[in-house]
A and B are shown apart, each in its own frame.
Chain A
């Protein structure tokens, strides 16, 4: 009996893995396809320049001290400047802003070659680079959907839509 159990323990996983080897892979071919995150995903922070009143609440709230208020010539008050090299994408600044001037989107592709490029001046913050210009090869995006109360997370049943 134990011999049979032993042999089953060898043969059964082998068959399972072999079935995997000949079935369709679950990979998202990333720079060409991209998974769209759920609503409210905390990604890059951007600024609505005209809404900000320079109260500095975001800067004081930030747990990482990633926001610095900078003066801009020709403007009456200062504006937030975010250092994404230090930000932990908690979005406390978005929550606390009394005017709703800060918002986050689902862009996470922020890699740079020079560290100083991670410090986003208010002007750069208010002109967020669209996803298509970061990922030039992006062909299609994949959306996770909820079907009958269950998260359909398999690529085999994915809904595809153009950006």
Chain B
């Protein structure tokens, strides 16, 4: 009887369950984290004319990340002295969970989204994604190590200073689409992606989101040459493996948001028989292209200093984002017909 009820419940919620467990939920994020780690190591190695992982696994070292994780599970987990043992071991897992929440608001097709968010999914995305730096701050603070706490402080500096321009740039898109709902934003880009009318916002958002996911040139919180390994200095064993995965999950969610806001999201010509599959293909293609572009930054650019980052974000990005917002607002108020020309609301 209970079994029947459970089965009935599963049948009723089958689509939601698939979305949460498989795509774009847990399985997608985990596979992305593993694949992106492998791809980054291989890609960076090739960009330095090296080969990268090769002898683990027959083809191109594809087992390397799995070997790393098996090794990390076998390592000793060290808890430093005078540390809250429970929180110290809980927080890495918590950080992965909280940073993965944000993927729930990204539409992968007009009917394939975990939670529509009652028309304010853009705001909800920012709210969910902003949880991550809190956890990171706690991670660094609880480690009872000076490098960890410096790294944690840097996380909060960089995140706050990058969050504001990113949000203001996203507001331009919201005004243009006339809605906070990410589905509406994507639908408004059916004729032309917002990359072109919102070029200023596009540039601001791109730089700001690089800073938010701690990619080079903004990887100040984990600067190896200054503060050993930043906020994850004290974590060893599988805890370290989890914090390493933590790097890639915000990358995943923020890149998906970037694609959704400026590159037309799941829009694209029909190539498969089913509209949904075709939409999946387009968003994943754009997503992979953006990932390929930004992973290479790591071997091209040097790291910015802390003050340079703050100057860039507060002095240049925030005014530029405001300018973009004001221009968009003026056009939206006085010449709303212009938006009709490019297909937006």
Contact = CB atoms under 8 A, between A and B. Distances in A.
Given A17-B299, A21-B47, A27-B49, 20 more contacts: A10-B301, A14-B296, A14-B297, A17-B47, A17-B296, A17-B300, A18-B47, A18-B296, A20-B48, A20-B49, A21-B43, A21-B46, A23-B49, A25-B46, A25-B49, A25-B51, A26-B49, A26-B50, A27-B50, A29-B51
Interface in A74-92: none
Interface string A63-102: 0000000000000000000000000000000000000000
A1 interface: no
Contacts of B48: 20
Query: Which residue, A13, A17, A26, A27, has most C-beta atoms of chain B within 10 A?
Result: A17
Looking at B49, B296, B297, the one whose CB has the most chain A CB atoms below 10 A away is: B49
Contact of B47 (A10, A20, A27): A20
A21 B296 contact: yes
28 contacts: A13-B300, A13-B301, A14-B296, A14-B297, A14-B300, A17-B296, A17-B300, A18-B47, A18-B296, A20-B46, A20-B47, A20-B48, A20-B49, A21-B43, A21-B46, A21-B47, A21-B296, A22-B46, A25-B45, A25-B46, A25-B49, A25-B50, A25-B51, A26-B50, A27-B50, A27-B51, A29-B51, A29-B54
Q: How large is the interface on B (under 10, 10 to 19, 20 to 34, 35 or more residues)?
A: 10 to 19
A14 B296 CA distance: 8
A18 to B, nearest CB: 6
Contacts of A25: 45-46, 49-51
Interface of B: 43, 45-51, 54, 296-297, 299-301
Interface string A34-78: 000000000000000000000000000000000000000000000
Contacts of A20: 46-49
Interface residues of A, number: 13
Contacts of A14: 296-297, 300
Interface in A102-160: none
**8 nearest A-B residue pairs (beta carbon):** A21-B47, A26-B49, A21-B46, A27-B51, A17-B300, A25-B51, A17-B47, A25-B49
